[in-house]
Amino acid sequence: MTIPKPVRDALGVGTGDHLVFVVEADGVRLRPIHGGGLAGLRGAIRGRAPFRGRGAERAAAQAEAARNALGEPPGQDG
């Protein structure tokens, strides 16, 4: 895909650089991937809810695993 030079300049990318296409409700946004790998994608996708901390996430995962083990429907832990 050829990206026009003014757009490449605005994004600070050049030949061989990688971009991610982020689909949004009102269009598509291009984001350069700097740093390689998944680290370059940090912030590219908005989460559904703010990060609650490792302890809260671990507790929610354990509760969901318990529900699954008991054959109960998935919870709404956020």
Count of domains forming the chain: 1
Q: What is the pLDDT of residues 35-60, one digit of tens each?
A: 666 666 666 677 777 777 888 888 88
Indicate whether 72 belongs to any domain.
no
This prediction has a pTM of: 0.39
2 part of a folded domain? yes
**Separate counts of helices (H) and strands (E) for the chain:** 2, 2
Residue 15 within any structural domain of the chain:
yes
Whether residue 77 is contained in a domain is answered as no
Give Cα separations from 65 to 35, 46, 47, 53, 68 (angstroms): 35, 25, 22, 18, 5
3-21 pLDDT tens trace: 889 988 988 888 888 888 8
Please indicate, yes or no, if residue 3 is contained in any of the structural domains.
yes
By residue range, what is the domain housing residue 13?
1-47
* Integer angstrom CA distances of residue 60 from 9, 30, 46, 53, 54: 44, 33, 20, 11, 10
CATH of residue 32: 2.10.260
